[in-house]
Structure 1
Amino acid sequence: MSGSIWMPPGSRPDTLPAIPRQRTAPSWAQPDPIDELAERLDDFIAAAVHPDEIAALLESDGLSDDQIRERYGVKNSFALAEELYERVERRYPEPEGPVHDPWQVGLLGCLLRGVVFALPGLGYVLGAPLLAGSRDDFGLPAGTVPLLAGALVGWTWNQGLAHRAYSWLGLGDRDAARRSLLLGAPAGALLGALVALAVAGAASVGVAFAAGQSIYLGAATALLVMGRERALLVALLPMAAGAVLALVHPVPDAARLMLLLGSLTVVVLLGLREVAPPKGRGELRDQPHQTRSRRTTSGPSLLGSLPYACFGLATGVLVLYAALGDVLAGEEHTAIAAPAAVALTLSMGPAEWLLYRFRSGSLAGLRSSSTPKAFWRTTTVTVVECLSAYLLSLLALSLATSALWPHAPGIAGIRLAGLLLLGVLLWTGLLLQSFGAVLSTATVCCVAALAQTVGLVTHTGSPHEVGLIVYGTAAMIQAALVCALLGRATAHR
Structure 2
Amino acid sequence: MNQNRTGLPAIPRQRTATPSWAAPDPVDRLAEQCGDFVAAAVHPDEIAALLESDGLSDEQIRERYGVRNSFALAEELYARVPRRHQEPDGPLHDPWRVSLRACLLRGLVFALPGFAYVLGAPLLTGPPGALGLPAGTVPLLAGALFGWTWNQGLSHRAYAWLGLGDRPAARRCLLVGAPAGALLGALTALAVAGPADGTAVAFAAGQSCYLGASTTLLVLGRERALLAALAPMTAGALSALAHPLPDPAGPILLLGSLAAVMLLGLREVAPSLRELNLLSGAGAVDAPRLTGSLPYALFGLGTGALVLYAALGDVPAGEEHSALAAPAAVALTLSMGPAEWLLYRFRSGSLAGLRTTGTPGAFRRATLRTGAECLAAYLLVLLSLGLIATALWPDAPGLTAVRLADVLLLGVVLWTGLLLQSFGAVLGTAAVCCAAALAQTLALLTHVADPHGVALTVYATAAAVQALLVRTLLGRATAHR
Higher radius of gyration, 1 or 2 = 1
The equivalent residue for 1:15 is none
Relative distance call for 1:177 and 1:56 in structure 2 (3 A) is same
The equivalent residue for 1:218 is 212
Query: Distance between the aligned counterparts of 1:332 and 1:157, measured in 2?
Result: 29
1:318 maps to which of 294, 298, 306: 306
Residue type of the partner of 1:205? T
Verify: 1:261 aligned to 2:261, yes or no.
no
- What SS does the aligned partner of 2:96 have? coil
Relative distance call for 1:468 and 1:31 in structure 2 (3 A) is same
Cα displacement string for residues 187-236 of structure 1 (whole angstroms, at most 9, x for unaligned residues)? 00000100111111447111100000000000000000000000000000
Is the Cα contact below 8 Å between 1:196 and 1:210 reproduced in 2?
yes
Verify: 1:151 aligned to 2:144, yes or no.
yes
- Hey, which bits of structure 1, 4+ residues long, moved more than 4 A? 1-4, 292-295, 329-335
Is the Cα contact below 8 Å between 1:166 and 1:177 reproduced in 2?
yes
The equivalent residue for 2:158 is 165
Residue type of the partner of 2:55? G
2:444 maps to which of 456, 464, 469: 456
- What SS does the aligned partner of 2:161 have? helix
Verify: 1:465 aligned to 2:453, yes or no.
yes
Is the Cα contact below 8 Å between 2:135 and 2:321 reproduced in 1?
no
Residue type of the partner of 2:340? E
Verify: 1:366 aligned to 2:359, yes or no.
no
Relative distance call for 1:254 and 1:26 in structure 2 (3 A) is same
The equivalent residue for 1:282 is 275
Relative distance call for 1:339 and 1:93 in structure 2 (3 A) is same
Relative distance call for 1:334 and 1:403 in structure 2 (3 A) is farther
**Superposed counterparts of 1:92-103, under 5 Å:** 92-103=85-96
2:289 maps to which of 281, 301, 305: 301
Residue type of the partner of 2:248? A
The equivalent residue for 2:180 is 187
Is the Cα contact below 8 Å between 1:391 and 1:424 reproduced in 2?
yes
Offset, 1:330? 4.3
**Superposed counterparts of 1:386-401, under 5 Å:** 386-401=374-389
Relative distance call for 1:44 and 1:295 in structure 2 (3 A) is farther
**Where in structure 1 are there 5+ consecutive unaligned residues?**
10-19, 286-291
Offset, 1:302? 0.5
Query: Distance between the aligned counterparts of 1:221 and 1:466, measured in 2?
Result: 33
Query: Distance between the aligned counterparts of 2:38 and 2:320, measured in 1?
Result: 64
- What SS does the aligned partner of 1:441 have? helix
Relative distance call for 1:103 and 1:293 in structure 2 (3 A) is closer
Offset, 1:137? 3.3
The equivalent residue for 2:49 is 56
**Superposed counterparts of 1:38-49, under 5 Å:** 38-49=31-42
Offset, 1:114? 0.6
Cα displacement string for residues 158-200 of structure 1 (whole angstroms, at most 9, x for unaligned residues)? 0000000000000000000000000000000000100111111
- What SS does the aligned partner of 2:275 have? coil
Residue type of the partner of 1:307? P
Relative distance call for 1:21 and 1:192 in structure 2 (3 A) is same
Verify: 1:78 aligned to 2:71, yes or no.
yes
Is the Cα contact below 8 Å between 1:324 and 1:335 reproduced in 2?
no
Query: Distance between the aligned counterparts of 1:482 and 1:419, measured in 2?
Result: 20
Offset, 1:460? 3.9
- What SS does the aligned partner of 1:25 have? coil
Residues paired across the two proteins, number: 473
Query: Distance between the aligned counterparts of 2:275 and 2:178, measured in 1?
Result: 20
The equivalent residue for 2:425 is 437
Query: Distance between the aligned counterparts of 1:283 and 1:491, measured in 2?
Result: 42
Query: Distance between the aligned counterparts of 1:99 and 1:254, measured in 2?
Result: 57
Query: Distance between the aligned counterparts of 2:262 and 2:69, measured in 1?
Result: 56
Cα displacement string for residues 409-439 of structure 1 (whole angstroms, at most 9, x for unaligned residues)? 1213100001000000000000000000001
The equivalent residue for 1:235 is 229
Relative distance call for 1:348 and 1:258 in structure 2 (3 A) is same
Is the Cα contact below 8 Å between 1:333 and 1:407 reproduced in 2?
no
Is the Cα contact below 8 Å between 1:380 and 1:487 reproduced in 2?
yes
Cα displacement string for residues 303-337 of structure 1 (whole angstroms, at most 9, x for unaligned residues)? 0000000000011111111100144x648598612
Query: Distance between the aligned counterparts of 2:476 and 2:358, measured in 1?
Result: 13
Is the Cα contact below 8 Å between 1:188 and 1:218 reproduced in 2?
yes
| TM-score of the two chains, using structure 2 as the length reference | 0.94
Residue type of the partner of 1:374? A
**Where in structure 2 are there 5+ consecutive unaligned residues?**
none
Relative distance call for 1:334 and 1:395 in structure 2 (3 A) is farther
Query: Distance between the aligned counterparts of 2:264 and 2:100, measured in 1?
Result: 25
Residues 258-267 or 66-75, more deviating: 66-75
Query: Distance between the aligned counterparts of 2:239 and 2:314, measured in 1?
Result: 26
Relative distance call for 1:408 and 1:97 in structure 2 (3 A) is same
Residue type of the partner of 2:36? D
Offset, 1:71? 1.1
Offset, 1:23? 2.5
Is the Cα contact below 8 Å between 2:136 and 2:200 reproduced in 1?
yes
Offset, 1:458? 2.9
Query: Distance between the aligned counterparts of 1:461 and 1:294, measured in 2?
Result: 51
The sequence identity of aligned pairs, in percent, is 71
Relative distance call for 1:335 and 1:147 in structure 2 (3 A) is closer
The equivalent residue for 2:241 is 247
Q: Say what the alpha-carbon RMSD is for the aligned residues.
A: 2.2
Is the Cα contact below 8 Å between 2:117 and 2:322 reproduced in 1?
no
Query: Distance between the aligned counterparts of 1:312 and 1:294, measured in 2?
Result: 24
Offset, 1:22? 4.9
Relative distance call for 1:469 and 1:243 in structure 2 (3 A) is same
Considering Cα pairs closer than 8 Å and 6+ residues apart, tell me whether 1 or 2 has the greater RCO. 2
Query: Distance between the aligned counterparts of 1:473 and 1:382, measured in 2?
Result: 22
Query: Distance between the aligned counterparts of 2:423 and 2:268, measured in 1?
Result: 28
Relative distance call for 1:483 and 1:283 in structure 2 (3 A) is farther
